[in-house]
Amino acid sequence: MNIQEIIKKSIKRLELEGKLLTPDFYAEAFCKEASKAGFNVEDCSKLEKFKSMLNKEFQEELKKYHIKTISEFAHFLISRLNRTNPSHCSNLLEAQSVFTKRVLQVVEVLHNKEAAELARKSLDLLNREALPFEIDQYRQLWVNFITIYDDTFLQKLKLLGDVDTTNLRKTVENLNLENGSFASTHSFELSKIASLLVASFVPSIASDVNDKIAAISQKIKKEPSLLESSTIEAEIKSAISLRIALDKQSVKEMIESIDGVLDKLSIRLIEMIESSDSSTVEIQKIKKELESYNERDYTSFSLAHKKLYTIAVALEENTQALTKDLKKHSGEVALLSKRVEQLEQELQKAKEQSKEDFLTKLFNKRALDESMNIKEAEFVRYGKNFTIVFFDLDFFKSVNDTYGHDAGDAVLFAFAKILKKEVRSVDVVGRYGGEEFIAILGETDAEGGAIFANKVRIKVENARMMYKENRIELTVSCGVSERKAHFSLQNTVKSADEALYKAKQNGRNRVETK
The larger pLDDT score, comparing residue 442 to residue 314, is at 442
Using an 8 Å Cβ cutoff, are 24 and 30 in contact?
no
Q: What is the pLDDT of residue 485?
A: 94
**Residue 180 binned pLDDT confidence (cut-offs 50, 70, 90):** very low
Cα separation of the two ends of the chain: 47
**Residue 379 binned pLDDT confidence (cut-offs 50, 70, 90):** very high
**Residue 437 binned pLDDT confidence (cut-offs 50, 70, 90):** very high
Q: At residue 143, does pLDDT exceed 90?
A: no
Long-range residue pairs from 60-67, CB within 8 A, at least 24 positions apart, any chain:
none
Query: Averaged over 461-488, what is the pLDDT?
Result: 91
Q: Where are the alpha helices (DSSP H) in 111-209?
A: 113-127, 132-148, 168-173, 186-201
The larger pLDDT score, comparing residue 506 to residue 328, is at 506
The larger pLDDT score, comparing residue 219 to residue 478, is at 478
Q: What is the pLDDT of residue 90?
A: 60
6 forms bridges with which residues in the sheet? none
Using an 8 Å Cβ cutoff, are 387 and 448 in contact?
yes
Give the up-direction half-sphere exposure of residue 394: CA atoms within 13 A in the CB hemisphere.
Answer: 21
Can you list the positions of beta strands (E) in 34-86?
none
Query: Averaged over 51-70, what is the pLDDT?
Result: 77
Gap between the Cα atoms of 466 and 455, Å rounded: 21
Q: At residue 186, does pLDDT exceed 60?
A: no
Using an 8 Å Cβ cutoff, are 460 and 476 in contact?
yes
Nearest to 427 by CA among 453, 393, 409: 453
- pLDDT tens across 27-40, in order? 888 888 888 888 77
Gap between the Cα atoms of 141 and 124, Å rounded: 15
Q: At residue 79, does pLDDT exceed 80?
A: no
Query: Averaged over 147-159, what is the pLDDT?
Result: 70
Q: At residue 226, does pLDDT exceed 90?
A: no
Mean of per-residue pLDDT scores for the chain: 78
Specify the length of the chain in residues: 514
Q: At residue 181, does pLDDT exceed 50?
A: no
Q: What is the pLDDT of residue 304?
A: 62
Mean pLDDT check: name the lowest of 37-46, 99-108, 182-191. 182-191
Q: At residue 392, does pLDDT exceed 80?
A: yes
Q: What is the pLDDT of residue 412?
A: 94
Q: What is the pLDDT of residue 182?
A: 41
Query: Averaged over 98-117, what is the pLDDT?
Result: 75
Gap between the Cα atoms of 167 and 164, Å rounded: 5
Using an 8 Å Cβ cutoff, are 480 and 450 in contact?
yes
Q: What is the pLDDT of residue 72?
A: 76
Q: What is the pLDDT of residue 192?
A: 74
Q: Is 438 helix (H, G, I), strand (E, B) or coil?
A: strand
Using an 8 Å Cβ cutoff, are 171 and 192 in contact?
no
